[in-house]
Amino acid sequence: MQATNNAPGSNRQVGGLIRDWRLRRRLTQLALAVSAALPPRALAAWESGKAQPPFDAILRLAERMDLPLRDRNRLLVAAGYPPHFPVRRLTDAAMASVKGAIDRMLARQQPYPALAIDGRWIVVAANDALRGLIAGVDPALLRPPVNWARLLLHPAGLAPRIANLSVCRAHLLARLSRQFEMIGEPVLADLLEEIGDYPVLKTEEAEDEIEPDAAAQALCLMTVDGPLRLFGTSTVFGMATDITLAELTIESFFPADADAAAIMLRQRETAVPRAASG
């Protein structure tokens, strides 16, 4: 494939991006070149802007550095090549099988909560159990685009109901930090700063509910039926070649004990949100 722009400026631009990602991944030029089966001198020339990296070499370097598909496209465009990975809406005809799979996963998770979020933590789909779980939060937080991290930790969201808020807050912030470190998305940096500025709630002043013997740390929500303890799983789509799909995560929650399972079943039977007031 031929580049559409071979100007020195484009060489320097793509070379700078390659170098930035290499340093982010804490790789030397030699280590990256060897792992990508490319000549070290060629990589040095590309990073300095003295030469244009071939299309296949860019994809190979991006693969070895485990770049998100969106950023692989950015490298290609910076070098003057057309983007290689498509980005489609879930409603596009080409995504029908994917959309169907997501809908089935969310539906079969009932009566337990599940949702799908994109790479910026925006909720793109959810089942009815999740809607019951978040009933009573500030309506402003439910106006699209709904951000799941914000919904969890905002003082007007679920935060006042989370008995072990400091533990859950630390876990989510660590996860966001790792994600930002991995992909360098500015939106995630803004989200981290926003959540870090949320006021400390009274629930965080209580002793942390840490369970050293538990297989997974639970999210403990206070409801009128008692503590609702849930543990979560995150599912991603393997071998995705579409950016939308590659950035999608299915968040599923399961009862952590028999009491939680009974509460969720009662809520499903009554179909009435049972969130504790205040």
CB 246 within 8 A of CB 237: yes
Q: CATH number for the domain including 135? A: 3.30.450.180
**Is residue 172 domain-shared with residue 218, that is, in the same domain?**
yes
Asked if residue 87 belongs to a domain, the reply is no
CA Rg value for the chain: 22
Closest listed residue to residue 105, CA positions, set 267, 211, 261, 253:
253
Number of domains in the chain: 2
Q: Tell me the C-alpha distance between 147 and 167, whole Å.
A: 20
CA dihedral 127, 162, 230, 116 (to 10 degrees): 30
> For every one of its 278 residues, what pLDDT tens digit does the chain have, with 9 covering 90 and above?
545 554 545 677 999 999 999 999 999 999 999 999 999 999 999 999 999 999 999 999 999 999 999 999 999 999 999 999 999 999 999 999 999 999 999 999 999 999 999 999 999 999 999 988 898 899 999 999 999 999 999 999 999 999 999 999 999 999 999 999 998 889 999 999 999 999 877 654 444 555 655 667 899 999 888 899 999 999 999 999 999 999 999 999 999 999 999 998 887 776 544 444 43
- Three-state DSSP class for residue 117: strand
- Write the secondary structure of 98-115 as one string of H (helix), E (strand) and C (coil): HHHHHHHHHHHCCCCCEE
Supply the range of the domain harboring residue 217.
Answer: 93-270
Greatest alpha-carbon span in the chain: 69
**Is residue 182 domain-shared with residue 102, that is, in the same domain?**
yes
**Is residue 62 domain-shared with residue 128, that is, in the same domain?**
no
Q: Tell me the C-alpha distance between 175 and 29, whole Å.
A: 29
**Is residue 111 domain-shared with residue 214, that is, in the same domain?**
yes
Alpha-helix residue ranges (DSSP H) falling in the chain: 8-24, 29-35, 40-48, 55-64, 69-78, 96-108, 128-133, 148-153, 165-183, 186-196, 243-246, 258-270
Question: Which of 78, 113, 140 is where one domain is finished?
Answer: 78
CB 89 within 8 A of CB 262: no
**Is residue 220 domain-shared with residue 163, that is, in the same domain?**
yes
Please name every residue paired with 226 in a beta bridge, in sequence order, or none if there are none: 223
Q: CATH number for the domain including 25? A: 1.10.260.40
Question: Which of 16, 44, 78 is where one domain is finished?
Answer: 78
Asked if residue 260 belongs to a domain, the reply is yes
Asked if residue 83 belongs to a domain, the reply is no
| pLDDT value for 219 | 94
**Is residue 26 domain-shared with residue 140, that is, in the same domain?**
no
For the chain, first and last CA: distance in Å? 61
**Is residue 197 domain-shared with residue 251, that is, in the same domain?**
yes
| pLDDT value for 139 | 96
Question: Which of 51, 78, 105 is where one domain is finished?
Answer: 78
Question: Could you check whether the bond before residue 145 is cis, i.e. omega within 30 degrees of 0?
Answer: yes
DSSP 54: P
Closest listed residue to residue 116, CA positions, set 237, 219, 273:
237
Asked if residue 3 belongs to a domain, the reply is no
**Is residue 143 domain-shared with residue 18, that is, in the same domain?**
no
Contacts 24+ apart (CB under 8 A), 181-189: 181/24, 182/66, 182/68, 183/68, 183/71, 183/119, 184/24, 184/71, 185/119, 185/120, 187/120, 188/120
Backbone phi and psi for residue 123, each to the nearest 5 degrees, phi listed first = -75, 125
Please give the single-letter amino acid code of residue 174: A
**Is residue 113 domain-shared with residue 46, that is, in the same domain?**
no
Asked if residue 2 belongs to a domain, the reply is no
Asked if residue 88 belongs to a domain, the reply is no
What global pTM score does this model have?
0.86
Tokens of 167: 């533990």
- Three-state DSSP class for residue 249: strand
Asked if residue 243 belongs to a domain, the reply is yes
Asked if residue 22 belongs to a domain, the reply is yes
